[in-house]
Structure 1
């Protein structure tokens, strides 16, 4: 499964990433290339679909949606699993078995899917979550949590997954990790994490 991080650092400057960025830009700018990449990605995501869903909407509440994420963001996560920056029992192995072309095609395929809102949290806390998001999160993830490029879409993500991710950021050692999410999540209370997660799930 791909574990979506709430905020990603810019894509690495290594040549494979530069090559991928150029290819992704060319694919997304050309209807025929995008369709061909989409179809190739669809053929390759059969294993991914067991956890993330064929349409990119996850089948389990602790697994993130991939639908409607920016293709560059999705590709960047593959690279992080490949080089060990991120670790996951399934994804760390899977990412190493995929060619550059396959990683690009899967990213394109899932980026073209429609994200479906989950069940929102407790109505009493959703309003608080909305206000908190506007102050703490919208600057990077967008006013409607749609994300862009290397900032992931949070709208419609399972509340359980979002809570797990935020708590993980709270526990990270800032001397070992550089994500800005450490500072964002570090000041959140448990009730604020629940409010944010519940609000975003229903978007």
Structure 2
């Protein structure tokens, strides 16, 4: 965290970090895109994400507090400095939400907005942009959001120690569909 904070204060260090990350993101770009915009609907966009959240996620993959076969392997290949640089790099990219193939169900989006306002806004913020160690969920791909919320609700062990386990425990399938519809159409 100290390294990320130092980058925020030093323009020359930010430039060096950004350049160093550009050399190491080849592996990340296969799924998350060179600019952090996901190539697949089931993979999250990293562009514009909170750098502290990205770094925390990296560290959880390194220590296996969070499990995903690809991410656990990738995180182990990177040094601490590289993980900091990559988190900073993706946080500086512009989000380009993927176009939704299916028509927007305005009633479902409205239901998602209502549920978001009562359940999610306190942590993720009114515009779902997150803060500090809490992720931006606005503009994430709908299938990714649905799958992630289901995993939290079902207490998937790969998401152990997340406050989302308790929050999502009460979500119905309808709630998840509504939240995913609402959040995916929000412009970050």
After TM superposition, is the score higher than 0.5?
A: yes
Inter-partner Cα distance in structure 1 for 2:160 and 2:38: 27
* 1:171 aligned residue: 154
Number of aligned positions between the proteins: 182
How far 1:116 sits from its partner (Å)?
2.0
Equivalences for 1:10-159 in 2 at 5 Å? 21-119=1-99, 121-159=104-142
How far 1:76 sits from its partner (Å)?
0.9
* 2:169 aligned residue: 186
The alignment partner of 2:36 has SS state of coil
Q: Which has the higher helix share?
A: 2
Inter-partner Cα distance in structure 1 for 2:42 and 2:65: 21
The alignment partner of 1:153 has SS state of coil
Inter-partner Cα distance in structure 1 for 2:87 and 2:161: 24
How far 1:173 sits from its partner (Å)?
7.0
Inter-partner Cα distance in structure 1 for 2:168 and 2:140: 17
TM-score, normalising length: structure 2: 0.92
Contact 1:67 1:113 in 2 (8 A): yes
Distance change >3 Å, CA 70–CA 113, structure 1 → 2: same
How far 1:180 sits from its partner (Å)?
2.0
Structure 2: stretches of 5+ with no match in the other structure: none
Residues 156-176 of structure 1: per-residue CA shift (max 9 Å, x gap): 1011011101110111179x9
Residues 81-105 of structure 1: per-residue CA shift (max 9 Å, x gap): 1111011111101111101111111
Inter-partner Cα distance in structure 2 for 1:29 and 1:130: 36
Inter-partner Cα distance in structure 1 for 2:53 and 2:156: 24
How far 1:122 sits from its partner (Å)?
2.0
How far 1:137 sits from its partner (Å)?
0.3
Inter-partner Cα distance in structure 1 for 2:66 and 2:161: 12
TM-score, normalising length: structure 1: 0.85
The alignment partner of 1:69 has SS state of coil
Residues 122-181 of structure 1: per-residue CA shift (max 9 Å, x gap): 22210111111111001000110001110000001011011101110111179x943221
Which range moves more in the overlay, 145-154 or 31-40? 31-40
